[in-house]
Amino acid sequence: MKQNNEIKNLQELIAWIDNNKICCVSEQGDNYFYIETPNDGDIFINLETDDDIEDILCRTIELLENFNADERFMELWSKDFAERNHFKPSQFIRMLQGDEASFKELARELRKVVKKQNTNL
């Protein structure tokens, strides 16, 4: 019965991700996956060979919750970046703020799934 609940919880999470247009990608043979928002904001989650699902979820939630629009802006912004991407600073920061909100919402949704699984995070 627990397995059926796990599948249902996972299906709910996948549906939520799809509905919110967040992309999760893992390329075959790579030891990471990444989560991308519609604005192309992304985080990468490195996978270790001895990771279990709880380790992966914990790291993923932590990265999602710690995404900071201001910090990402400072990492990426330059005049060259602006010219290449045709962004004004105000446009780019709004996009990053949208990414931050999406990542934090996904973290909340992941925590709900974990809670349903009775995993202590």
pLDDT, tens only, 33-55: 778 888 888 888 887 777 777 77
Which run of H or of E encompasses 33?
A: strand 32-36
3-class SS of residue 105: helix
Which ranges in the chain belong to alpha helices (H)?
Answer: 2-19, 53-66, 69-76, 79-85, 89-116
Token pair for 67:
């995404």
CA distance 57 to 4: 19
Burial class (CB in 10 A: 0-12, 13-18, 19+), 102: buried
Q: What local confidence, expressed as pLDDT, does residue 69 receive?
A: 96
pLDDT digits (tens, 9 = 90+) for 67-100: 999 999 999 999 999 999 998 999 999 999 999 9
- Here the tokens at position 51 are 């990771």
- 67 by Cβ neighbours in 10 Å (0-12 / 13-18 / 19+) ranks as buried
Q: Say how far apart CA 49 and CA 18 lie, in whole Å.
A: 28
Q: Tell me: pLDDT of 103 over 80.
A: yes
